Amino acid sequence: MKSGKYSCNTRSETIEWITAIIDFLKPFSFLINAHVVNFFKDKQWEDVDEEWMSCLRNEKPENILLIPSGSVQDHWPASLTDFVHTLRSLSFPREQADLQTMLSDVNVAPLSTVLSQGMNLKKKHEVEVLSSVVSSVVNSVGESTVIDVGSGQGYLAQVLSFQYKHSVVAIDSSSHHGNVTDARAARIRKHFASQMRKSGLNLFSVSSGNKCPDAPTTITCRVLSTEMLKSLTNVPLEENDLDLDAAALNEGPKSSQSSSDANRPCSLVLAGLHACGDLSVTMLRTFMECEEVKAVVSIGCCYNLLSEKASESSCSKCGFPMSAGLKSLGFSLGKNARDLACQSAERWSSLGEDAGLQNFELHSFRAAFQMVLSKHYPEVLATSPSIGRQGKAFRRQKQRKALETPSKLETSRKDTDKKSMTHTSSSFEKFCLSAFSRLNLERPQDLDLSATWNEAHAFTELIGPYWSIRAALGPVLETLILLDRLMFLQEQGDSIQVTMLPIFDPTISPRNVAVIAKRLLP
């Protein structure tokens, strides 16, 4: 676990890395806490080094998009180059680890068409890799039941059950997801049973080792907490489709559980594929607080949903910070910083020039619309309104238009070479009308959208550089969140073995870092 000169193999190394990140970030709080929707309204470009903006305003869009990935150009100012390189050195590496070298007994096996049905490329890659890692961890700690936390449609749980033949419980807050998981598992089990019958095997022959794999147990829990996960040790895991709340779980063992089952020691492994926000934090706390949980494999996401409180004395159960070490430093993130931590350098670097320009254009439209709200609807602006994800719709419209008029597209590409972004007042007006509709607002009669756009247009070529410089801070902020979780586990002493690895291909799945912890036998 190393990035350049920083390592996190021990608690002291981790706190050194965390301290270096915080020291670097403090002077750039104006960028971290900014929101690009206020770019024109607050003249945010004036806060950035003038030499940087002067250089980047004429830079090729593809080079600007590579800034979050640590790419620089020879003609850039030395201070900008140092900024980008330092960010890169402070970020946890994202290149997919050699799992067979880093973890014992890992063999990533391709999924059959039956198990992968319904999965897109990203989900198939994630489930293939994570299921092999979780299976390896289960094998290393002894026979255990895997709890798939935040299981969704049960893809991971079903692969662990049917391919790796582990006992699995799929837990999710949505009863719909539980029903989908059960129905899908039934179809898969029917397929396996059919294959075994064709092979002349006894479906129920345990001694022969040919028993048809059991489907995962599903539990719908409306309140997910550390106490609830701990209570799973009292639930008869042989029963499928349990619909429970926290109170029901805390009542203790069900009457259908036999005395032999009740006396049998329970061993659990928690697994979470992109468990959102505090859910990943809850998994780590449960691992520490419940001795029946022998290991945890957690891949987090949605850092914007993490709970965080300004008062460190009152945030013992909040999502950030977790570790005593980071709490002692008195550092907080804030909502905009947590949003920024979700940015993916790999995803933006894969964008082509046209897609990148469209992205910058949409940021310009949204920031210019913010000026409209500020002038005509200040009371709405105070509520931090969301106008939804209009970006995809606008990109699809442009793509259709480009296909219909290829000659015009060629002309626009030539224009793009002369200007970093092509904007039209009519496109901005369409954007605003759609935004008014989404917010249930009337268009003000005295509103001159052309004048608003003309006021903003002179600075639109600065929004791409500003956005990219700010986005470059994202991987470092995510690193800070991950290191906090790692150090929380390292602070628990030598009885815990913990590692942090990028297990997915980051170009397919950018949130690819797994926190893997196991209890060591006394």
Q: What SS3 state is found at 519?
A: strand
Q: 272 with 295: CB under 8 angstroms?
A: no
Q: Is 152 left (phi over 0), alpha (psi -120 to 50) or beta?
A: left
> The tokens 């957690």 sit on which residue?
298
Q: For residues 444 and 205, what is the distance between their CA atoms, to the nearest angstrom? A: 75
Indicate the SS3 state at residue 166: coil
Does 390 score more than 70 pLDDT?
A: no
Which one has a higher pLDDT value, 409 or 318? 318
Give the C-alpha separation, 206 to 414, whole Å: 70
Lookup: tokens for 487 = 């150090």
**Backbone dihedral region for residue 265 (phi beyond 0: left; psi -120 to 50: alpha; all else: beta):** beta
What is the pLDDT averaged over residues 100-117? 89
Q: What is the pLDDT of residues 207-216, one digit of tens each?
A: 445 566 677 7
Please choose, from the candidates 171, 157, 88, the residue with its C-alpha nearest in 3D space to the C-alpha of residue 127: 157
Q: Average pLDDT in the 80-87 region?
A: 97
Determine the 3-state secondary structure of 46 from DSSP.
Answer: helix
Backbone angles phi, psi at 445, to 5 degrees: -65, -35
pLDDT per residue as tens digits for the range 11-36? 999 999 999 999 999 999 999 999 99
Q: Is the peptide bond before 321 cis (omega within 30 degrees of 0)?
A: yes
Region 173-178: what's the mean pLDDT? 74
Its pTM stands at 0.86
Query: Of the candidates 267, 323, 249, which has an alpha carbon nearest to the alpha carbon of residue 490?
Result: 323
What pLDDT was estimated at residue 228? Answer: 72
Each residue's pLDDT tens digit, 440-458 = 999 999 999 999 999 999 9
SS3 49: coil
What is the per-residue pLDDT for 456?
Answer: 94
pLDDT at residue number 236: 57
- Per cent of the chain over pLDDT 90 is 59
237 within 8 A of 189, measured Cβ to Cβ: no
Lowest mean pLDDT segment, chosen from 63-77, 209-223, 458-472: 209-223
Residues of the chain by 3-state class (helix, strand, coil), percent to 5: 55, 10, 35
Instruction: Identify any residues that bridge with 168 across adjacent strands, giving them in sequence order.
Output: 146
Is 115 strand, coil or helix?
coil
**At 171, is the secondary structure helix, strand, or coil?**
strand
- 250 vs 481, more confident: 481
153-169 burial, b if ≥16 CB within 10 A, otherwise e?
A: bbbbbbbbbbbbebbbb
Beta bridge partners of 147: 169, 270
List, in sequence order, every residue forming a beta bridge with 272; answer none if it has no partner: 298
Q: Is 296 helix (H, G, I), strand (E, B) or coil?
A: strand
Put the strands of the sheet holding 496-502 in their side by side order. Answer: 242-244, 217-221, 167-172, 145-149, 268-276, 293-301, 513-519, 496-502
Residue bearing tokens 């397929």: 191
- Answer left, alpha or beta for residue 137, where phi above 0 means left and psi between -120 and 50 means alpha: alpha
Task: Provide the mean pLDDT of the chain.
Answer: 83
DSSP element (H, E) containing 82 = helix 78-90
The average pLDDT across 314-325 equals: 82
Predicted pLDDT of residue 90: 96
Q: Name the CA radius of gyration of the chain, rounded.
A: 26
Average pLDDT for residues 234-257, to the nearest whole number?
48
pLDDT at 147 over 80: yes
How much is the pLDDT for 139? 93
Dihedrals φ, ψ of 458, to 5°?
Answer: -65, -20
Residue-by-residue DSSP string for 293-313: EEEEEEEEE-GGG--B-S-GG
Q: Which of 270, 201, 277 has the alpha carbon at shortest distance from 232?
A: 270
Residue of 14, 80, 3, 1 lying closest to 329 (CA atoms) = 14
- 39 vs 198, higher pLDDT: 39
pLDDT bracket for residue 416 (50, 70, 90)? very low
Q: Tens of pLDDT along 218-245?
A: 777 754 566 776 676 665 555 455 555 5
pLDDT of the residue at 191: 76
